Structure 1
Amino acid sequence: MDNTKEKLLEIKELKRHFKVDRKNVLKAVDGITFDIFKGETFGLVGESGCGKSTAGRTILRLYEATAGKVEFQGKNVHSKKSKKELKNFNRKMQMIFQDPYASLNPRMTVKDIIAEGIDIHGIIKDKKERTNRVNELLETVGLNSEHGNRYPHEFSGGQRQRIGIARALAVDPEFIVADEPISALDVSIQAQVVNLLKRLQKERNLTYLFIAHDLSMVKHISDRIGVMYLGNMVEVAPSDELYEDPLHPYTRALLSAIPVANPEVERSRERIIIEGDVPSPVNPPSGCRFRTRCPLAMDVCAKAVPEFKEYKNGHWVACHLYDKDHQN
């Protein structure tokens, strides 16, 4: 998609389906394609249930792919690997989870939670060195060494998420999937966590896949943004361009729902209301999956799946409005 930057990840026609019963299959992720470049933050957005978290977990191999390919540094993530290869791979790719309480073991002290990856990978054998490393990580995320002897329930949500970030950093990863890392936090704390992630990215040359449903916060951290709807990728563009010139009707509707601080601007803005409910991923609509809720749907939208293609440099969209053959 961009030949000038180094690709860290290539996701090609990735699918992750779940068997519901003998007859039905839930198509959580159904053929998404995009790249993530080294050192960037790729924001992945969409309504709840669109498949973005499943996509993140499939990329990390927490779920096996049903079809398609994920390549990390040119190697297929989902190919058969030895235990040693899997260990090395897992060290390079880490995850920050949505719920900062459920993802931390309540019976473990904070220092043992953070050091778990260090112990598994045998990074540090010396006890004193291990303690020093944990204290350093606590300070890196804005906590202090005294916090290491406490348990997760003794911390606020924002502090627990900082512990989760420290745990992800402990094994010196190159790529981190941040799965809605701020959605469970107070608005005042959200900005602090986003700023921490941005600082860590600069200091450690990290690459992020930042998953969220809040488009307003995604803009502040993302270099490029991908928009998902019902298991499909509908648009990918540089962050500023997506906000200034959204192409897909679904993206336009999501952006129109973001409140603006200026009351005069807010009154003059066009609000696009998406009618109806999200269809079931067990039985998605034919053709374009958004067509049942799209105010601009045409006859062709029910018959043909729109091709995900580059509309202009770095701006990709899957919509029949941009097919020369189908334009009215």
Structure 2
Amino acid sequence: MDNTREKLLEIKNLQKHFNIDRNNVLRAVDGISFDIYKGETFGLVGESGCGKSTAGRTILRLYEATAGEVNFHGENVHAKKSKKELKKFNRSMQMIFQDPYASLNPRMTVKDIIAEGLDIHGLVKSKAERTKRVNELLETVGLNSDHGNRYPHEFSGGQRQRIGIARALAVNPDFIVADEPISALDVSIQAQVVNLLKRLQKERGLTYLFIAHDLSMVKHISDRVGVMYLGSMAEIASSEMLYEEPLHPYTQALLSAIPLPDPEVERSRERIILEGDVPSPINPPSGCRFRTRCPFAMEVCGKVTPESIEHKPEHWVACHLYDDRYNEEYKAKQ
């Protein structure tokens, strides 16, 4: 990563815990740190339940952080803010939700759904300007202006997601969290939505946090990728570096499960099958959280939580296999 690039967001030791009852705490996000640079797409991947969607919502302050910082343009998102400051902040950061039907008010026309942000932030001065702006947004996402008078149930899943994208764009944000925006769509539509997001990013200078569990699609849209497991960050690298040379055993297992288009290569490659279930975030394992399913687990893995180390330039991994202080046990077995 070019160090001259501007950091738009700095996430430092971010935690989000939920109190289940008097004795139990669900550690959904438990101390993740990464940066997002202006104009890039940072992919956040992992199995269902790993905490990636909670991380996205906490970054946007839809959830209050339990601990840690989210700095946006150098300002802590979770610091105490006045209503005016919150309003300005909310305009700068928007979200595209996973389920385009559940996130759209079925009682509102598409025109009013898209214009809601315009109305709240006072971005239009007349009804004519409001209509013009909505029509422009509809056309920007590949819909017709006459669609504005219809209701969400009259559209397909792909069209509804385009409406959700138009709603996010309405207030001219700098940063968008796309929370699994294609997982509820047909495969034939997914590429269209991804291509739309890439085009909008190029035209408007947008920065994305793209959350997904489909690693093959993340490869095509992301500049850098972070891999989460059970509330913690396992690995961060450029998209190319991560897919060519994954370091963390969990990342290696995830990538080995991606189907390849060449049948001969698919048959000959080694699949890494992870044994056991993902532990509960209410009672995570001591030390490394992945150790209960890791084929390379050492004694130290149960005692010491691995630190994220820069194994190669801009390639970070949280694994004792790459830490010279602890990997003598593994080397001895080779």
Give the Cα separation in 2 of the matches to 1:46 and 1:5.
27
Residues 276-291 of structure 1 mapped to structure 2, 5 A cutoff:
276-291=276-291
Provide the C-alpha distance between the structure 1 equivalents of 2:53 and 2:238, rounded to a whole number of angstroms.
21
1:1-328, aligned counterparts within 5 Å?
Answer: 3-327=3-327, 328=331
Summarize deviations over 1:118-138 as a string: whole Å, max 9, x none: 000001021001100000000
Letter paired with 1:278: V
Instruction: Quote the offset at 1:62 in angstroms.
Output: 0.1
Could you report, residue by residue, the CA deviation over 1:157-210 in whole angstroms, capped at 9, with x for unpaired residues?
Answer: 000000000000000000000000000000000000000000000000000000
Partners of 1:310 and 1:317 within 8 A in 2: yes
What SS class does the counterpart of residue 292 from structure 2 fall into?
helix
Query: Percent identity of the aligned residues?
Result: 83
TM-score computed with the length of structure 1 as normaliser: 0.99
Deviation of 1:309 after TM superposition, in Å, equals 1.6
Q: Distance in 1 between matches of 2:146 and 2:256?
A: 45
Structure 2 distance, partners of 1:226, 1:326, is: 23
Shift, 1:258, TM fit = 0.1
Deviation at 1:3, TM superposition (A): 2.8
CA distance in structure 2 between the aligned counterparts of 1:275 and 1:54, rounded to whole angstroms: 26
Separation (CA, whole Å) in 2 of partners of 1:5 and 1:322:
28
Extract unaligned runs of 5+ from structure 1: none
| Secondary structure in structure 2 of the residue aligned to 1:324 | coil
SS at 2:12's partner residue? strand
Question: In structure 2, what is the Cα distance between the partners aligned to 1:99 and 1:42?
Answer: 21
Gaps of 5+ in 2: none
Does structure 2 conserve the Cα–Cα contact (< 8 Å) formed by 1:16 and 1:30? yes
Residue 313 of structure 1 deviates from its aligned partner by 0.8
- In 2, distance between residues paired with 1:86 and 1:276? 44
SS of 1:293's equivalent?
Answer: coil
Question: What SS does structure 2 have at the residue aligned with 1:26?
Answer: strand
Counterparts of 2:98 and 2:50 in 1: how far apart (Å)?
A: 16
Deviations 1:87-112 (A, max 9, x none): 00000000000000000000000000
Shift of 1:40: 0.1
Structure 1 CA distance, aligned partners of 2:49 and 2:310? 26
> What amino acid is the match of 1:35?
D
CA distance in 2, matches of 1:95, 1:77: 15
Which residue identity is paired with 2:174? E
Q: CA deviation at 1:2?
A: 5.8
Q: How many angstroms apart in 1 are the aligned matches of 2:326 and 2:173?
A: 46
CA distance in 1: counterparts of 2:315 and 2:72, whole angstroms: 23
Aligned partners of 1:119, 1:129: CA distance in 2, in Å? 11
Q: How many residues align?
A: 328
| AA of the residue aligned to 1:217 | M
Q: Which runs of 4+ in 1 moved over 4 A?
A: none
Cα drift, residue 325 of structure 1: 1.7
8 A contact 1:51–1:230 mirrored in 2: yes
What amino acid does structure 1 have at the position aligned with 2:56? G
TM-score by length of 2: 0.97
The AA in structure 2 aligned to 1:8 is: L
Larger mean Cα displacement after TM superposition, 121-130 or 48-57: 121-130
Residue by residue, what CA displacement relative to the aligned partner does 1:56-93 show, whole Å, maximum 9, x if unpaired? 00000000000000000000000000000000000000
Structure 1 pair 166–259 and aligned structure 2 pair: CA distance change class (3 A) = same
Structure 1 position 4, deviation (Å): 2.2
8 Å contact kept, 1:2–1:314: no
Partners of 1:40 and 1:223 within 8 A in 2: yes
How far off is 1:310 after superposition?
1.0
Query: Which residue identity does 1:122 align to in structure 2?
Result: G
CA distance in 1, matches of 2:119, 2:97: 20
Looking at structure 2, the residues matched to 36 and 114 of structure 1 have their Cα atoms a distance apart, in angstroms, of 27
* Secondary structure of 1:15 counterpart: strand
